A and B are shown apart, each in its own frame.
Chain A
Amino acid sequence: MASSAVLRPHRPAPTFRSVGRSLLLTLPMALWSLLLFTPSLREPGRNAHIGAAVVILFMTSLFYMMMRTGKTSRWRRIFFVTLGVLFPVGFIASLIHLRGSMSISLAHMVGGDTPFCHMVIPMILIPAALTRTVIFPGSILPTATNPHSIAVMIALWLAFTLVMGKAWCSYGCFFGGLDEGFAALPRHMRIRKLDARLRLVPWALLIVVALLSAALFEPFYCRWLCPFKTITEFAAVTSLETAIQMVIFISLFVGLVVVLPFLTRKRTQCAFFCPFGAFQSLFNKINLFEICIDREKCVDCTLCRTTCPAMALSAQSIREGKTLLNCMKCGACVDVCRKNAAVWHLKGTPVAVKPERARLLFLYGVWAMATMLGGGIIANALATLIGFLPLS
């Protein structure tokens, strides 16, 4: 049984490639980072220079370690948790700079100053298809006070989704790093038995939220259920209704993002609650990259199943050599498998024939996108943090 498998502490990273080959494989990503962040280095402002330089080094170093050790999730997680921790820092600082508060007032909403977030996308689809109306108080094109406009964020999500499918949840989402971070803190699971039906909750929530949003003509999840309102922005508390919303946001954040990940070592908000995650799972069907189990090597130790932070492996799926639809492609199962039975796979090619080639193709695309979005967010947050330091 999965719960009987004890999670062992990470062993030292085994050498997978030579330094020279690893550097050679890292070179394109180093150049990519330089290309992306050179404009920031040319702009005036020391803090932005430091932020950009640190991010270039950070993203390139992590990619190098992925090449050198052959492990993916361990290094990805450092980036992803950093992104999850620093995103609120940069976002809140920018809100306070633009409007003086984390809370959003009616004036900002009617002025189109609400930043658009990817979580809204499943909720706006039905009303947009039926009436061409976006039920969100933002602006379609970027403005001086709202660069995160609806068209820009949808475009960004579309590009990411085409490249990485559900891997968005492990490389692109600027919220997911928080519960992954809390899930990584304890050495052992406090709660071992989790009902497999929990996987269905995000799907149920997706249907309910999409239908309610279309019926009420408002982004229902954002108004009532989003845990991340606690650390980003929220409607100013001006009535009993907004006060209740605030209590719900904080309770969900503490429960799903902090406490339950710590107790279960699972990404509980992402795997068992997030309706956007369920929506994003659909794109795993069209994405070319996946993780497979090589049945010839698998010894059914269930370590992969225990380790998976999203419960995206079941006994049956392992028997069939596949992950479930909700696989976030974090690579934790591949990293932990001692028999090299869990492998990266390019659909249409034979399973386990050239898994490293599939991994490389996946990583180049996904890390390029992660550097663009996540790297930019980290650089911005670092520049903000440095601005708070009492430096001469």
Chain B
Amino acid sequence: MDHGPGPGHGSRGPSAVRLVWVYPDLLSTYGDRGNLLVLARRARLRGLPVEVAEVNSDQRVPAGGDIYLLGGGEDLPQVLAARRLRAGGGLAAAAGRGAAVLAVCAGYQIVGTEFGGVEGEPVPGLGLLDIRSGRGERRGVGEITADVDPALGVPRLTGFENHQGRTWRGPEVKPLATVLAGVGNGDGTEGAYAGRVVGTYLHGPVLVRNPGLADLLLSWVVGTLPPVDPRQDELVQGLRRERLAAQPAPA
């Protein structure tokens, strides 16, 4: 996998990192704005200018962004969002030319090939990840801790999950992480990734509690990042310690 700078940036120096928040009117049930704010903050801490586009479902998703964010949503909004994203084509085009995508919960299911609709009927997704989701037997609600695929170099994930999804992976994707405590995909793994498309069930929001994952997405756009001044990282590291201590992973 290519971990070098993404299209449009890196080689041109610090031009703005373009963040696109996809359909906050449909896919933002629980603090999903946090992922956007953390990406913007961590870019600015490195002196990188940021441009933010919040794109509602009656607007076209621009194909020229660097990082696309999709959040959580209820069943009906999820189906509507998938339908509109498939019809619009902007997100798939962006992912196709190597833009980074972080998709959370309902958004995670949407970027797969198929998920369960309001009555459990199969609904086609965008096919950016080779995954398929349906309804699990029990609702996963609570704190979750998971160890990230070592290839990604991101510290242990901490988050909050609230879903009844069960997700099956095809051969084209790898699990994002191995669950230490919690439900995740339902088979001991959590999330999935392929290329620069990352999906996860984690709220928290996930990038708030896991700045390493935010930095990974930014590095896919701009290349190697300078470290953040430790004083600017102190609070969030404290939050990570607190949350990880609150859910001790089994030895």
Q: Do A and B bind each other?
A: no
